Amino acid sequence: MTANATPPRNRRTFLILAGLFFLPFLSAWIYFRFLPQLHPTNFTNYGELIQPARPLPALSLVDINGAAVAADVLQHKWSLVYVGGTECAEACLKRLVMFRQIRLALGKDLQRAQRIYIAPDVATAAALHAELAKDHADLHVYADTGSSGARASDFFHSADPTAIYAVDPLGNWFMVYSGAVDPKGPYGDLHKLMKLSTIG
C-alpha cells in the first residue's frame, strides 16, 4: 500500500513546485497582455526619453585641425552631445559647466562618459576649443562637415538650442535634456544607467 501511494505524492509535489516556478511568468504575461490600464504611466528618468532610441546616422565629423575623426567616436562611451552654433554664449556656457560637473560627479565611472561639442565648421570648432580648453579640458570639440540633411543638427532636434543629447555606447540617441535642468536629474539618470549596464 505504501509503495503504491508514494508515486502520486511525488507527482503532486512535482506539480506544486512546477506551478510555483511558472506562476510568476504566467502572472507577468497576463499583466502585460490583458491589463494595460494597470501599467505605470510615470517613469523615473529625468530627461525626455526618445522612444524608440534612434541609431546615429553616419556623421562627417572632423577635429579642430580638419582631420576626420573615427566613425565610432560617439560609441563605446555614454556621450553627452551639444550641437552648437558659431559661438557659445552665456546660456551655452552655463549648460557646459553644468554637464561638466555632472560628469565629474560620476566619480569612478567618470571615464565611461564623454562630453562632445559639435560645431558647424572647422573655424568655429578651432576658435571654441581655444576659448573653452582652459575650463573644459575634457570637452571634445568637433566640426560637422556633412552635407545638408546629413548633419548632426538634422538628426538631433529640440526646441531648446542649448539642449544636451544623450547617446548610449552602442551609438543610439536615447534621451534629450532641454529647458531648465536640475543637475541632480541628469546625474541620477547616468548613475542609474551605468550601475545597471555593463556596456561603455
Q: Where are the domains of the chain?
A: 2-38, 48-196
Given this model, what pLDDT does residue 36 score? 57
Please name the amino acid found at residue 189. D
Confidence of residue 29 (pLDDT cuts 50, 70, 90): low
Q: Which CATH superfamily is domain 48-196 in?
A: Glutaredoxin (3.40.30.10)
Q: Within 13 A of 136's CA, how many CA atoms are on the CB side?
A: 25
- What percentage of the chain carries pLDDT values higher than 70? 83
Q: What's phi and psi for 163, nearest 5 deg?
A: -65, 150
Burial of 128 (0-12, 13-18, 19+ CB in 10 A): buried
pTM of the predicted model as reported, rounded to 2 decimal places: 0.76
Cell numbers at 69, concatenated: 575623426
Q: Would you say residue 52 has pLDDT above 70?
A: yes
User: What confidence tier does 140 reach under pLDDT thresholds 50, 70, 90?
Assistant: very high
CB distance 175 to 166 below 8 Å: yes
pLDDT per residue as tens digits for the range 63-113: 999 999 999 999 999 999 999 999 999 999 999 999 999 999 999 999 999
- Please give the C-alpha separations between residue 72 and each of 26, 65, 123, 143, in angstroms, as whole numbers: 41, 19, 23, 15
Angle between helices 184-196 and 90-105 (to 10 degrees): 40
pLDDT in tens, 145-188: 999 999 999 999 899 999 999 999 999 999 999 988 888 999 99
pLDDT over 90, % of the chain: 68
Reported confidence tier of residue 15, pLDDT bands at 50, 70, 90? confident
The pLDDT of residue 13 is 79
Residue 39 clears pLDDT 70, i.e. is over it: no
Cell numbers at 35, concatenated: 491589463
The set of residues, in sequence order, having a beta carbon less than 8 Å from that of 150 and lying 6+ positions away, is: 57, 58, 59, 60
